[in-house]
């Protein structure tokens, strides 16, 4: 069976059809971006970008997409509003590839399939995508900046806010349960065909509503005409997805302009507005992604699991906890200490089960299956302190220079050989990055010490949240 490919629709009109010319255009657009110092280190998880011809909105879009340099995402979910059809459905492109002059991008059919199966009005209607420019115009920017990524193209062909709310909840749930690193991109232009001054005033009001999280007010402004966003019915679920899936609500405006700015015509009577707004995931320096209550639950569970196994010779079966994060598949290590000395430690590098079950099982393994120590006895339990280290999902990187010393743990793998250093190794040794990686390769993974520079070597980073009784 031949692959289903979404063919070019607006190449040669919205952007250059020739590959070399398109690459040169994109380079010029990215070269035009100027950031304040604090903006260069933004870690984007969501973007609002325009979708007009590159001559008009390309520079504004480049502000957001420039943040993707040296980043990696497994999947990019693109939300746009259909300009040609109002079918009262959400159409998810469930083909195989999406074509641009820079090549074909693979569709993440695992995610598209999951979305479609959840609602009878989440469908794949190919004709809705055939002529649409709002998503196609974003993909060359992504191809220029990223590699090894898939996409999920979604067009909202409806004004049904209840349906869009269900879409947001569905996608947020998929993201929260997935180990993939996912970027959300929402495509919309702003006010249409007003004079330059009026457009600026209207767009500033709209941007303030978006940035100030006034979603109800924004909805009413769109409905009464005091704000204009041609992609509002993509923006509406986009904002909820970021809030529910990532806990992100506050965006940052990187660039605003209109077509008059692009053309140097500041007296124009008919301009279109564009904005580039980024949403970054807030990362606590201590990686505190578990609450104190959740930590206490896990520590109590670990102790109860050990005690129950010692008394009954079988595993304790905990009830399903209410917390979403405790139900998420996460890798974990359980360490037992007695009189400040190690008494057992067993864990996982790769998540295989929900966190609460992993702690249940690793606690028993640390107490009774660590071959370096005798089995823990009931007499010892009172004097044993339990420490839990929860690993964030492994993130594959393609440039070892991305590693943040003292913050990132590193797992390196080539063929059957692999080794890991936790983040504190860098702090405890004082090694620089090269020495850290050379020791990891040579002494832990039993590879040549410069194997981390080999393109066939896989490098994964993670962070650790450690807490104890």
Identify the band that residue 457 occupies on the pLDDT scale cut at 50, 70 and 90. Answer: very high
Residue 327: strand, helix, or coil = helix
What is the residue whose two structure tokens read 């996912």? 182
CA torsion, points 19, 23, 24, 28, in degrees to nearest 10?
150
What are the structure tokens assigned to 303, written together? 């102790």
CA atoms of 64 and 50, how far apart (whole Å): 10
Residue (of 59, 209, 204, 32) closest to 141 by Cα position: 59
pLDDT digits over 321-337, tens only? Answer: 988 889 988 889 999 99
Proportion of the chain above pLDDT 90, given as a percent? 72
Question: In what helix (H) or strand (E) does residue 277 lie, and over which residues does it extend?
Answer: strand 271-280
What's the pLDDT at 38? 58
Q: Which residue has the higher pLDDT, 186 or 214?
A: 186
Question: 279 forms bridges with which residues in the sheet?
Answer: 46, 251
Residue 189: strand, helix, or coil = coil
What's the pLDDT at 288? 57
With vertex at residue 222, the alpha carbon angle to CA 219 and CA 226, rounded to the nearest 5 degrees, is 125
pLDDT digits over 155-189, tens only? Answer: 999 999 999 999 999 999 999 888 888 999 999 99
CA atoms of 108 and 96, how far apart (whole Å): 8
- Strand 97-100 vs strand 103-106: parallel, antiparallel, or unpaired? antiparallel
pLDDT digits over 118-128, tens only? Answer: 999 999 999 99
What is the residue whose two structure tokens read 């692009």? 262
First to last CA, the chain: 58
Contact predicate 80/51, CB 8 Å: yes
Residue (of 44, 7, 22) closest to 280 by Cα position: 44
What's the pLDDT at 322? 87
Topology given in CATH for the domain delimited by 5-280:
Protocatechuate 4,5-dioxygenase; Chain B (3.40.830)
pLDDT digits over 77-107, tens only? Answer: 999 999 999 999 999 999 999 999 999 999 9
The chain-wide mean pLDDT, for the chain, equals 91
Mean pLDDT confidence for 350-378 = 92
For residue 190, give every residue at least 6 positions away whose Cβ sits within 8 Å of its Cβ, in sequence order, or none. Answer: 50, 199, 202, 203, 206, 228, 229, 230, 258, 272, 273, 274, 275
What are the structure tokens assigned to 211, written together? 């940035």
Give the number of C-alpha atoms closer than 13 A to the C-alpha of residue 60, restricted to the C-beta side. Answer: 31
Q: Does residue 108 carry a pLDDT above 80?
A: yes
Q: Which residue has the higher pLDDT, 377 or 340?
A: 377
Domain ranges of the chain: 5-280, 292-391, 395-468
Residue (of 43, 80, 82) closest to 64 by Cα position: 43
What's the pLDDT at 426? 82
Residue (of 187, 87, 78) closest to 127 by Cα position: 87
Q: Does residue 284 carry a pLDDT above 70?
A: no
Superfamily of domain 292-391: Hypothetical protein ph0010; domain 1 (3.30.700.20)
**Could you confirm whether domain 395-468 is CATH 3.30.1490.150?**
yes
Q: What pTM, to 2 d.p., does this model score?
A: 0.64
What are the structure tokens assigned to 416, written together? 């059957």
Contact predicate 335/366, CB 8 Å: yes
Q: Give the other-Cβ count within 10 Å of 178's Cβ.
A: 18
Q: Pick the range with the lowest mean pLDDT from 220-224, 279-283, 446-450.
A: 279-283
What are the structure tokens assigned to 84, written together? 């040609």
């Amino acid at each position: 069976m031949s692959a289903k490919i979404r063919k070019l629709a607006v190449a040669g009109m919205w952007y250059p059809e020739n590959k070399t010319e398109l690459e040169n255009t994109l380079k010029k657009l990215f070269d035009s971006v100027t950031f304040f110092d604090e903006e260069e280190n933004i870690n984007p998880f969501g973007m609002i970008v325009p979708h007009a011809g590159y001559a008009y909105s390309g520079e504004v879009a480049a502000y957001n997409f420039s943040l993707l340099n040296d980043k990696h995402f497994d999947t990019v979910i693109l939300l746009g509003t259909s300009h040609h059809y109002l079918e009262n459905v959400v159409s998810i492109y469930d083909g195989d590839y999406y074509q641009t002059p820079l090549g074909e991008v693979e569709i993440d059919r695992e995610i598209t399939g999951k979305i479609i199966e959840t609602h009878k009005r989440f469908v794949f209607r190919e004709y809705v995508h055939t002529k649409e420019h709002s998503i196609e115009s974003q993909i060359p920017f992504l191809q220029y900046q990223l590699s090894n990524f898939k996409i999920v193209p979604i067009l909202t062909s409806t004004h049904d806010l209840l349906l869009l709310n269900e879409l947001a909840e569905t996608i947020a749930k998929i993201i929260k349960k997935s180990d993939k690193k996912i970027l959300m991109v929402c495509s919309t232009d702003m006010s249409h065909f007003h004079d330059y001054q009026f457009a600026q005033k209207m767009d500033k009001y709209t941007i303030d509503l978006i940035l100030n999280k006034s979603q109800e007010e924004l909805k009413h402004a769109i409905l009464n005409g005091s704000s204009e966003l041609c992609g509002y019915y993509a923006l509406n679920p986009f904002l909820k997805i970021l809030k529910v899936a990532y806990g992100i609500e506050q965006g940052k405006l990187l660039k605003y302009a209109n077509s008059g700015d692009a053309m140097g015509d500041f007296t124009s009577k008919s301009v279109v507005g564009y904005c580039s707004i980024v949403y970054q995931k807030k990362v606590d320096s201590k990686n505190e992604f578990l609450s104190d209550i959740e930590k206490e639950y896990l520590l109590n569970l670990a102790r109860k699991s050990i005690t129950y196994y010692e008394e009954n010779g079988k595993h304790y079966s905990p009830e399903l906890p209410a917390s979403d994060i405790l139900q998420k598949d996460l890798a974990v290590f359980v360490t037992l200490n007695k009189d400040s000395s190690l008494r057992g430690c067993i864990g996982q590098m790769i998540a295989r089960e929900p966190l609460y079950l992993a702690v249940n099982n690793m606690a028993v393994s640390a107490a009774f299956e660590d071959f370096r120590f005798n089995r823990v006895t009931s007499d010892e339990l009172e004097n044993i302190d339990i420490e839990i280290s929860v690993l964030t999902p492994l993130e594959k990187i393609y440039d070892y220079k991305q590693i943040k010393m003292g913050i990132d743990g590193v797992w390196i793998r080539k063929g059957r050989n692999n080794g890991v250093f936790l983040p504190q190794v860098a702090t405890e040794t004082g090694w620089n990055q090269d020495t850290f990686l050379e020791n990891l390769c040579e002494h832990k993974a039993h590879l040549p010490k410069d194997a981390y520079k080999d393109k066939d070597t896989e490098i994964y980073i993670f962070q650790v949240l450690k807490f104890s009784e």
